Structure 1
């Protein structure tokens, strides 16, 4: 049974989806005004790994991750770059997809954009106004925070504590509010800014409202899982709960998940664009193998802080290389493995036991650190087996298939491409088997090569081969 640490309750809870076998999952995506930094990359990789594990466990995951393509930062970037806000958004949506695809992050089932949900956002806000949860001031619309009794529960803060911080802010927006804690649902457009017509005048959505609306439109009133970076816990996710539950009267999300920060330097300082101590994924991928970066980001338990340094990258590179060596050695040993041996069932049972241990580790709040430790144990088992004088093709193939399945959960893919020399060696073995009238072995080698896209042609001049196009 999978257990998830729920930020809302601050406890590990048994995962019970709303519908058996299905998971409705929403993860906050990037504001697309620049390249994502490694902390943003961690969030994308962490929840991609969680998604992959849920699918491995048999769940049908409906995965939504948005793009914030209307925002103050995008408007400023458009001014700085002297292009439109839509051009800024398109440029950095493409950059996000390019960078995360190199990290083998699967595309979401839905990547909604704010500009495509303006009317549903307006309709949502109007319901909040009608219910008395929101009010209009000179074309701006604000949410009455104190009206929502459970405000602060997600971030474990009282309204009084929050009020102290809010009351220290200054500016025109604060003066317009009924209460310093209230937050914007709709903002009046300034001169020259992008805007849409609304019942309250020309304007654009506030940041928090977009995720509530897009999640509601695509996944319904209640989500199974809502995820994002730890920095989104307050105020973004706190505000999402307040406005969503006020509108629908239903629980917004049953499980709240937040990945930990990426830290940098000896003092483990949180990496962020606001602190100016960040490095972008785009920059890292120019210098580091994307699989190493993926392995680095995916193999620490998602809630724990992750230190970014040359040392930790090197450790990830070395650990990944050891797994790759195991894979390559196993593939090569398949070439001279015998069909089966008397102890196949016993050996396969040992592999199954390791897979079960992996499941136990990952079922405990997706503990990737413990999960990858079991993968290392499987690799050790395979290395010992490979060194035996005689090995069973059935057992080695069984172990290798499970090995590949488990590393794929972490986003790592090893390609089974035989080198030309290996192909020639297999052809020699096949020809010898045919000469010995061992046609079963001959056919086995032919099928093995065919599985890897190698086509054999027996001619009077000998056996030729080619790669399947």
Structure 2
């Protein structure tokens, strides 16, 4: 599979530092307010990317930071008259709740900046020792001129940066130099959270938090770093400078991945324009799965134009898929009603313990005899392998539904292929993070539908007086903790 790298500006074959293992870091929120739909777009995208990588057989550790110390948090706390620590904890909790509502649940660990002060101080000291940072009366700064490749991710040269930064701190060697540590001693900072350091009481800069965290959990180099397009400069370029300078190793990451902007009715989302939408406000009118499909209908690198029309279309598309699968269920039930399964079931007597249930659901769509299904499966996974192209993958799903509906209506799809279709859609649901099955319809890990099928099979066995095999299936179910009562 191929991934587009922001650094190279082209698609590259996925090659991990360690075989079948991927270390993924995505910049998390600054918790001073509720998360907005732009955040939702980014985190749905990377949640889906992780889901697909795991489906492909990779072991993925997904790390995300929580910026719980920042000027925005402190200023909001002062405006609200509350403690900044309590404010940060409140909005961190609400952020996690919002992510759960969007079924963004693949992050393995959320790392708070304030829980990693030791690592932050250690990294700053090493940058000073290596000559990349210097101390002034206002704090510690990274000297950009010492890192010759600064700006390489954004493709900017150091001499061009002066026009992009306005800084009134005359104590710095250059306006481009950024803060690693901000001194906060004096009455004007009373009530603000501060920590002791070798350079005076204060708090860390924004960029150093992320590299200190990733170095602790991933080391000086790892596989994928993600975030929004707006973070490329200066944030991600500063991360590169810090970590490559302190470690002496490059590149910091193999692949830089960035999500495009989310606009509202063609305009950039902002509170001043009155088009700022939080995830919580969105979920008052639309489900989390509707927003997920809306997001995934656009490639993660492309801009999205948010609109009510697009959300309604996402709702309709989910309903189409669910209705299609309900029809598949009806056909499966019809086939089981009229099928003579005795010969196939008899073969189960030769299986080892705990293999009976697996055999009953082993309808692999990779081995289907139904050409329309094979073509749909191939196109879906081909699209996902092409830099996680969810729009093309979703188009493949609807193309398959259109082509197969005629065969479905004319009863031309055999029972094995009907079950294979359900198997495929169960995998699609897992990859996209959207449950396309009704709550009481479970398959491929969704237990109730499977148990219903098994119960029907057992009834047929009992009707044919094959009590030994019926009892064997019952005993195996009981061994799995499933109570069976005839």
Q: Fold-level match, TM-score > 0.5? A: yes
Mapping 1:89-104, distance limit 5 Å? 89-104=88-103
Alignment of 1:100-249 (within 5 A): 100-166=99-165, 169-171=166-168, 174-189=169-184, 190-249=189-248
- Residue equivalent to 1:263: 263
Count of residue pairs the alignment pairs up: 442
Equivalent position of 2:28 in the other structure: 29
Report how far residue 427 of structure 1 moved. Answer: 12
Which structure 1 residue ranges, 5 or more long, are not aligned?
Answer: 459-469
Q: 1:397 aligns with which of 419, 422, 438?
A: 419
Q: Does 1:379 align with 2:401?
A: yes
The worse-fitting range, judged by mean Cα deviation, of 344-353 and 428-437 is 428-437
Name 2:317's counterpart in structure 1. Answer: 319
Q: Aligned partners of 2:190, 2:455: CA distance in 1, in Å?
A: 77
Structure 2 CA distance, aligned partners of 1:228 and 1:178?
Answer: 30
Is the 2:461–2:470 contact (alpha carbons within 8 Å) kept by the matching residues of 1?
no
How far did residue 79 of structure 1 move?
A: 1.5
Cα offset, 1:238, TM superposition: 0.7
Distance 1:275 1:50, change over 3 A: farther
Q: Distance in 2 between matches of 1:426 and 1:365?
A: 38
Q: Which residue of 2 aligns with 1:305?
A: 303
Change (3 A) 1:130 1:275: farther
Task: Give how far 1:273 is off.
Answer: 5.5
Three-state SS of the structure 1 residue aligned to 2:109 is coil
The answer for the alignment partner of 1:288 in structure 2 is 286
What's the CA shift string for 1:9-32, capped at 9, x where partnerless? 111111100011011110001001
Deviation of 1:396 (Å):
1.0
Residue from 367, 380, 384 that aligns with 1:358: 380
How far apart are the structure 2 equivalents of 1:404 and 1:97?
A: 26
Task: Give the Cα–Cα distance (whole angstroms) in 2 for the partners of residues 309 and 322 of structure 1.
Answer: 20
SS, match of residue 176 in structure 1 = coil
Task: Show the 5 A alignment for 1:268-279.
Answer: 268-272=266-270, 277-279=275-277
2:369 is paired with a residue whose SS is helix
* In 2, Cα distance between equivalents of 1:454 and 1:221: 48
Asked if residue 52 in structure 1 is aligned to residue 51 in structure 2, the reply is yes
Following superposition, the deviation at residue 455 of structure 1 comes to 7.0
Moved more, 116-125 or 398-407: 398-407
Aligned-partner Cα distance in 2 for 1:384–1:247: 63
Question: Secondary structure at the residue paired with 2:182?
Answer: strand
Q: 1:418 to 1:359 in 2, by over 3 A?
A: closer
TM score, norm. by length of structure 2: 0.84
Relative to 1, partners in 2 of residues 1:91 and 1:216: Cα closer, same or farther, differing over 3 Å? Answer: same
Q: Does 1:253 align with 2:275?
A: no
Correspondent of 2:440 among 417, 424, 428: 417
1:467 maps to: none
TM-score by length of 1: 0.87
